Amino acid sequence: MDDTKPIILWFRRDLRLSDHAALTAACETGRPVIPVFIYDGLVETLEAAPKWRLGLGLQALSKTLADKGSRLILRREGRALKALRALVAQTGATSIYWSRLYDPEAVARDTSIKEAFKAEGVEARSFGGHLMFEPWTVETKTGGFYRVYTPFWNAVKNVGVDTPRPTPRDIRPPQDWPESDTLDDWQMGAAMNRGAEVVRPFALVGEQSAQGRLGHFIADVVDGYGDNRDIPGVDGTSALSENLSLGEISPHQCWHAGHRAMQEGKRGAEKYLKELVWREFAYHLMHHTPRMLDGNWREEWDAFPWKTDADSAHVVAWKQGRTGIRFVDAAMRELYVTGRMHNRARMIVASYLTKHLMTHWKVGQHWFEQCLIDWDPASNAMGWQWVAGSGPDASPYFRVFNPDTQLDKFDKHRDYVSRWIAEGRADPHKDALAFFDAIPRSWNLSPDDPYPDPIMTLDAGRKRALAAYEDRGF
Ligand code: FAD
395 CB neighbour count, 10 Å cutoff:
17
d(CA 342, CA 439): 20
d(CA 336, CA 88): 42
Q: Is the CB of 8 under 6 A from ligand 1?
A: no
Question: Which H/E stretch holds residue 55?
Answer: helix 48-67
Which pLDDT score, from 0 to 100, does residue 343 have?
98
DSSP state of 177: P
Cα→Cα distances 389→100, 139, 176, 356, Å:
30, 24, 55, 14
Give the model confidence (pLDDT) of 422-440 as tens digits: 999 999 999 999 999 999 9
Q: Is the CB of 132 under 6 A from ligand 1?
A: no
Phi-psi region of 158 (alpha: psi -120 to 50; beta: other; left: phi over 0): alpha
Which pLDDT score, from 0 to 100, does residue 471 have?
82
Is the entire prediction scored with pTM above 0.85? yes
CA dihedral for 38, 42, 47, 53, sign (positive or negative): negative
Q: Is the CB of 348 under 6 A from ligand 1?
A: no
The residues, ordered by sequence, that sit 6+ positions from 433 with a Cβ below 8 Å of its Cβ are 422, 447
Q: Is the CB of 368 under 6 A from ligand 1?
A: yes
- What is the number of the ligand 1 atom nearest to the C-alpha of 369? 28
Give the model confidence (pLDDT) of 292-311 as tens digits: 999 999 999 999 999 999 99
- What is the number of the ligand 1 atom nearest to the C-alpha of 229? 2
Q: Give the Å distance between the CA of 116 and the centre of ligand 1.
A: 36
CA dihedral for 364, 365, 369, 373, sign (positive or negative): positive
CA dihedral for 464, 470, 471, 474, sign (positive or negative): positive
Question: Which H/E stretch holds residue 10?
Answer: strand 7-11
Which pLDDT score, from 0 to 100, does residue 267 have?
96
Give the model confidence (pLDDT) of 443-452 as tens digits: 999 999 999 9
The answer to whether 315 and 411 are in contact (CB under 8 A) is: no
Q: Is the CB of 352 under 6 A from ligand 1?
A: no
Which pLDDT score, from 0 to 100, does residue 428 have?
97
The answer to whether 92 and 61 are in contact (CB under 8 A) is: no
Q: Give the Å distance between the CA of 380 and the centre of ligand 1.
A: 8
The residues, ordered by sequence, that sit 6+ positions from 131 with a Cβ below 8 Å of its Cβ are 102, 251, 280, 283
pLDDT band at 397 (very low <50, low <70, confident <90, very high): confident
Which pLDDT score, from 0 to 100, does residue 393 have?
80
Average pLDDT over residues 337-360: 97
d(CA 104, CA 110): 10
Q: Give the Å distance between the CA of 382 and the centre of ligand 1.
A: 10
Backbone dihedral angles phi then psi of residue 183, each to the nearest 5 degrees: -65, -30
Burial state string for 124-145 with b = 16 or more CB within 10 A and e = fewer than 16: bebbbbbbbbebeebeeeeeeb
Question: Which H/E stretch holds residue 433?
Answer: helix 430-438
Mutating to test ligand 1, I would choose from 250, 343, 393 the residue with most ligand atoms within 8 A of its C-beta, which is 343
Q: Give the Å distance between the CA of 405 and the centre of ligand 1.
A: 23
Q: Give the Å distance between the CA of 342 and the centre of ligand 1.
A: 8
Q: Is the CB of 388 under 6 A from ligand 1?
A: no
Angle, vertex CA 335, rays to CA 333 and CA 339, nearest 5: 140
Res 470 pLDDT > 70: yes
- Give the helix, strand, coil percentages of the chain, each rounded to 5: 55, 5, 40
Average pLDDT over residues 189-202: 96
Q: Give the Å distance between the CA of 35 and the centre of ligand 1.
A: 29
Q: Is the CB of 239 under 6 A from ligand 1?
A: yes
Which pLDDT score, from 0 to 100, does residue 12 have?
98
Nearest CA to ligand 1 atom 20: 279
Q: Give the Å distance between the CA of 239 and the centre of ligand 1.
A: 9
Q: Is the CB of 384 under 6 A from ligand 1?
A: yes
Nearest CA to ligand 1 atom 25: 241
d(CA 399, CA 402): 9
Which pLDDT score, from 0 to 100, does residue 46 have?
98
Give the model confidence (pLDDT) of 100-149 as tens digits: 999 999 999 999 999 999 999 999 999 999 999 999 999 999 999 999 99
Angle, vertex CA 193, rays to CA 192 and CA 195, nearest 5: 65
Q: Which amino acid is located at 313 in the chain?
A: A
Nearest CA to ligand 1 atom 10: 241
The answer to whether 50 and 373 are in contact (CB under 8 A) is: yes
Q: Give the Å distance between the CA of 336 and the centre of ligand 1.
A: 17
Res 191 pLDDT > 80: yes
Q: Is the CB of 334 under 6 A from ligand 1?
A: no
- What is the number of the ligand 1 atom nearest to the C-alpha of 225? 2
Distance of CA 472 to the CA centre of its chain: 34
Q: Give the Å distance between the CA of 227 and the centre of ligand 1.
A: 17
pLDDT band at 270 (very low <50, low <70, confident <90, very high): very high
Which pLDDT score, from 0 to 100, does residue 398 have?
85
What residue ranges define each of the domains in the chain, with the CATH number in brackets?
A: 1-129 (3.40.50.620), 192-288 (1.25.40.80), 299-471 (1.10.579.10)
- What is the number of the ligand 1 atom nearest to the C-alpha of 217? 3
Q: Is the CB of 312 under 6 A from ligand 1?
A: no
Of 353, 363, 368, 387, the C-alpha closest to 455 is: 353
Which pLDDT score, from 0 to 100, does residue 1 have?
61
Of 310, 351, 356, 365, the C-alpha closest to 454 is: 356
Give the model confidence (pLDDT) of 55-69 as tens digits: 999 999 999 999 999
Counting beta carbons within 10 angstroms of the beta carbon of residue 294, is it exposed (0 to 12), middle (13 to 18) or buried (19 or more)? exposed
Give the model confidence (pLDDT) of 214-244 as tens digits: 999 999 999 999 999 999 999 999 999 999 9
List, as one string, the DSSP characters of 198-260: HHGGG---SHHHHHHHHHHIIIIIGGGHHHHTT-TTS--S---HHHHHHTSS-HHHHHHHHHH
Average pLDDT over residues 257-275: 98
